[in-house]
Amino acid sequence: MITIRFFKTREDAERARQILEKAGFDAEVSEDKFNNVPIQKFGVRARYRLNVSDEDFYPVTAFLAKRIRAGRLK
Protein backbone atom coordinates (compact mmCIF):
# COMPACT_ATOMS: atom_id res chain seq x y z
CA MET A 1 0.00 0.00 0.00
CA ILE A 2 1.10 3.54 -0.78
CA THR A 3 -0.01 6.61 1.19
CA ILE A 4 -1.70 9.15 -1.06
CA ARG A 5 -2.45 11.79 1.58
CA PHE A 6 -2.50 12.54 5.30
CA PHE A 7 -5.66 13.85 6.97
CA LYS A 8 -6.26 15.48 10.36
CA THR A 9 -9.55 13.66 10.94
CA ARG A 10 -10.75 10.13 10.30
CA GLU A 11 -13.98 11.54 8.83
CA ASP A 12 -12.10 13.43 6.09
CA ALA A 13 -9.96 10.39 5.32
CA GLU A 14 -13.03 8.14 5.14
CA ARG A 15 -14.78 10.59 2.82
CA ALA A 16 -11.78 10.52 0.48
CA ARG A 17 -11.68 6.71 0.65
CA GLN A 18 -15.35 6.54 -0.35
CA ILE A 19 -14.70 8.78 -3.37
CA LEU A 20 -11.91 6.48 -4.53
CA GLU A 21 -13.94 3.33 -3.92
CA LYS A 22 -16.89 4.73 -5.90
CA ALA A 23 -14.43 5.23 -8.76
CA GLY A 24 -13.42 1.56 -8.53
CA PHE A 25 -10.16 1.81 -6.57
CA ASP A 26 -9.25 -0.16 -3.47
CA ALA A 27 -8.34 2.21 -0.63
CA GLU A 28 -7.99 2.05 3.13
CA VAL A 29 -7.51 4.45 6.01
CA SER A 30 -4.91 3.87 8.70
CA GLU A 31 -4.11 5.82 11.85
CA ASP A 32 -0.55 6.75 12.78
CA LYS A 33 0.52 4.90 15.91
CA PHE A 34 3.66 4.36 17.98
CA ASN A 35 4.02 0.88 19.45
CA ASN A 36 0.36 0.33 18.55
CA VAL A 37 -0.73 3.38 20.61
CA PRO A 38 -2.39 6.31 18.80
CA ILE A 39 0.13 9.16 18.57
CA GLN A 40 -2.26 11.70 20.12
CA LYS A 41 -1.72 9.90 23.46
CA PHE A 42 1.84 11.31 23.30
CA GLY A 43 0.70 14.89 22.65
CA VAL A 44 1.13 14.63 18.86
CA ARG A 45 -1.75 15.64 16.59
CA ALA A 46 -3.59 12.65 15.12
CA ARG A 47 -2.89 11.74 11.50
CA TYR A 48 -4.83 9.43 9.25
CA ARG A 49 -3.36 8.03 6.05
CA LEU A 50 -5.28 7.34 2.87
CA ASN A 51 -3.61 4.33 1.28
CA VAL A 52 -4.06 2.72 -2.13
CA SER A 53 -2.59 -0.42 -3.59
CA ASP A 54 0.75 -0.13 -5.38
CA GLU A 55 -0.77 -1.01 -8.76
CA ASP A 56 -3.49 1.66 -8.34
CA PHE A 57 -1.08 4.49 -7.51
CA TYR A 58 -0.76 5.98 -11.01
CA PRO A 59 -4.43 5.52 -11.98
CA VAL A 60 -5.51 7.11 -8.68
CA THR A 61 -3.21 10.11 -9.14
CA ALA A 62 -4.56 10.59 -12.68
CA PHE A 63 -8.14 10.33 -11.38
CA LEU A 64 -7.50 12.87 -8.61
CA ALA A 65 -5.67 15.27 -10.95
CA LYS A 66 -8.63 15.18 -13.32
CA ARG A 67 -11.04 15.94 -10.47
CA ILE A 68 -8.87 18.77 -9.19
CA ARG A 69 -8.74 20.33 -12.64
CA ALA A 70 -12.52 20.06 -12.87
CA GLY A 71 -12.92 21.51 -9.35
CA ARG A 72 -14.90 18.52 -8.15
CA LEU A 73 -12.97 17.13 -5.20
CA LYS A 74 -15.84 17.54 -2.74
Q: Give the domain ranges of the chain.
A: 2-70
Q: pLDDT tens digits for the chain (74 residues)?
A: 999 999 999 999 999 999 999 999 999 999 999 888 988 888 889 899 999 999 999 999 999 888 888 876 65
- What pLDDT, on the 0 to 100 scale, is given for residue 41? 87
- What pLDDT, on the 0 to 100 scale, is given for residue 63? 93
The candidate with the shortest Cα–Cα distance to 1, out of 46, 63, 60, is 60
DSSP secondary structure letter of residue 47:
-
CB 7 within 8 A of CB 18: no
What is the distance between the alpha carbons of residues 44 and 22, in angstroms, rounded to a whole number? 32
pTM above 0.85, yes or no: no
Q: What is the dihedral of CA 48, 27, 66, 59, to 10 degrees?
A: 130
